[in-house]
Amino acid sequence: MTVPTYISDETPTPRETTTTEVTPETDQTFHYRSCWYPICFVQDLPKNKPYSFSLYEEPLVLFRNETGTLICLTNRCPHRAAKLSDGQIIDGKIECLYHGWQFGINGECLHIPQLAPDAKIPVNACVESFPVVQRQGMIWLWIGEAKKADERLIPIIPELDNPAFVSTDYIRELPYDQNYLIENFIDPAHVYISHDGSEANRQDAQPLEIEVLESCAMGIRGKFRGMLKVNGRYQRLDFIAPNLVHYRLSFAKPDWLAGLALYTVPLGRGRSRVILRRYRNFFTGQMKLKPRWLEHLRQNRVLEEDLPLILGQQTEIARLGKSLQEIFLPLKTSDVLVTEYRKWLDNFGASLPYYQGYNTTKNMSNGEYIPQSVESDRFSQHTVICSSCHRAYQITNRLKYTGVGVAIALFALAIVTDGEWREIVAVSGAGLAIVFAAITGKIERKFKDSYHRS
């Protein structure tokens, strides 16, 4: 295992290990297809419509049949390679919009309009299907051998099955690789600076005591605490391969528990998705009452505070075309888990289609990377894939135009009406309608306009 050199105020040593010991599990192997991947929240899956997405560039489509069974197929018609997601669901079957071929639960072709009624459907007129299940309000996909799809391997959060805990959730697509997203999530030190005023305060930035408890094919177990407070409380921070970063937070009150689960989905090179869940067992009433879309407005800002920084980091690393060990200057008091994750990719990431490890790289376009989007696009990256925010956007949009229409109508009434008091009432009503339209318009823009640092 490659171990980085850390910058420290203490007398440096040539190499310092970040693990407490090497366990037998280190000899295990990891394969990215033998894993469950979260796709979206159940409530965000459209009804009676195909849901398209990708995993490591592989196009996929998700839908339910007439009995509610979840079905996931390769998003490509075997006829002429059209996207099945552009079609429609008919009697529980997905129909290709190009020529009307229809496919069922296992990807078998059930109908071809261009064949005679007594003609046999070709055996190879089928689409690959994948095991997909629903668990803890999320939809999970297995892309390996179906017979090996053990639901016990789903990286669930046990607390979410406990009725004493409440949670909020959030989904967002981002224009950078999953590797950089995980690196960002497994880095507690950046929160005080990057998220000053939203998640933390820069005055609290401090050296951290970070310890890697175990690193193996299954992931990384770690803990951290601030060093300015004597005997401060450790917080748990684990990476469960290949897609979960999990914070378990402890408090002065021993019965107070909270956590943050950050699932990352590798859509493709330069594209990833975060599926976020916050949970706790205290002050639960406040969390229950807060509308989902309102919490998402706050969370959007948090992700957008990091977005240009990570895009710039990824672009510069690609331009340099060097290993991260040559580029990074890690601190022992902030970057232990970051470098440990990149080393994990060195040691266990060989099966991945692409990755950027600490010393090794696979199928990354160094020197040629051009980000697909240099700007945050809140509307396409979140609003349109979130059922709550999309509905809130549509409602505020209609209310805005309703307010404008009412204002115009009342101004017209004031012009043609007789009587001073009627004119006053009409003009006053028009003024209130304009204010109403302005307020709803301001809320509507929050579902479209991204946060930019002033």
| pLDDT tens per residue, range 171-194 | 999 999 999 999 999 999 999 999
Instruction: Using alpha carbons, select from 118, 82, 109, 110 the residue that is nearest to residue 97.
Output: 82
Is residue 208 pLDDT above 50, yes or no? Answer: yes
Task: Find tokens 């160094």 and name the residue.
Answer: 366
Is residue 23 pLDDT above 50, yes or no? Answer: no
- Angle in degrees, CA 305, 309, 315, rounded to 5: 150
Average pLDDT over residues 441-453: 94
Structure tokens at 345: 């990719």
pLDDT bracket for residue 207 (50, 70, 90)? very high
**Residues 389, 294 contacting (CB under 8 angstroms):** no
Task: Find tokens 């197929």 and name the residue.
Answer: 73
Cα-based torsion angle of the residue sequence 365, 61, 39, 443 in order, rounded to the nearest 10 degrees: 90
The whole-number pLDDT of residue 375 equals: 64
The whole-number pLDDT of residue 86 equals: 97
210 phi/psi in degrees, rounded to 5: -120, 135
Is residue 408 pLDDT above 80, yes or no? Answer: yes
Average pLDDT over residues 200-205: 93
Average pLDDT over residues 363-367: 69
Q: Which of 53-62, 104-113, 374-383 has the least mean pLDDT?
A: 374-383
The whole-number pLDDT of residue 231 equals: 82
The string of pLDDT tens digits covering residues 299-326 is: 999 999 999 999 999 999 999 999 999 9
Is residue 8 pLDDT above 50, yes or no? Answer: no
**Residues 186, 237 contacting (CB under 8 angstroms):** yes
124 phi/psi in degrees, rounded to 5: -85, 10
The whole-number pLDDT of residue 21 equals: 33
89 phi/psi in degrees, rounded to 5: -100, 120
Structure tokens at 19: 């693990």
Average pLDDT over residues 369-375: 52
Name the pairing type of β-strands 138-142 and 36-41: antiparallel
The whole-number pLDDT of residue 423 equals: 84
pLDDT bracket for residue 7 (50, 70, 90)? very low
Q: Which of 261-265, 334-338, 395-399, 407-411 has the least mean pLDDT?
A: 407-411
The whole-number pLDDT of residue 131 equals: 97
Reduced to 3 states (helix: H, G, I; strand: E, B; else coil), residue 434 is helix
Instruction: Using alpha carbons, select from 130, 155, 140 the residue that is nearest to residue 58.
Output: 130
The whole-number pLDDT of residue 366 equals: 56
Structure tokens at 392: 């809130």
pLDDT bracket for residue 20 (50, 70, 90)? very low
Average pLDDT over residues 203-222: 96
* Rounded Cα gap, residues 438 and 435, in angstroms: 5
* Rounded Cα gap, residues 454 and 443, in angstroms: 20
Q: How many CA atoms lie within 13 A of 10 on its CB side?
A: 8
The whole-number pLDDT of residue 25 equals: 44
Residue 270's region, left for phi above 0, alpha for psi from -120 to 50, else beta, is left
* Percent residues over pLDDT 70 in the chain: 92
DSSP H helices in 274-369: 284-289, 292-320, 324-327, 336-348
Look at the alpha carbons of 11, 6, 260, 25 in this order and tell me if their dihedral is positive or negative: negative
**Total-model pTM:** 0.90
DSSP 12: P
Average pLDDT over residues 23-30: 59
Supply the mean pLDDT for the chain.
Answer: 90
* Percent residues over pLDDT 90 in the chain: 83
252 or 165: which leads in pLDDT: 165
Angle between helix 178-185 and 292-320 (nearest 10): 110
**Chain-centre distance for alpha carbon 271:** 10
**Residues 222, 238 contacting (CB under 8 angstroms):** yes
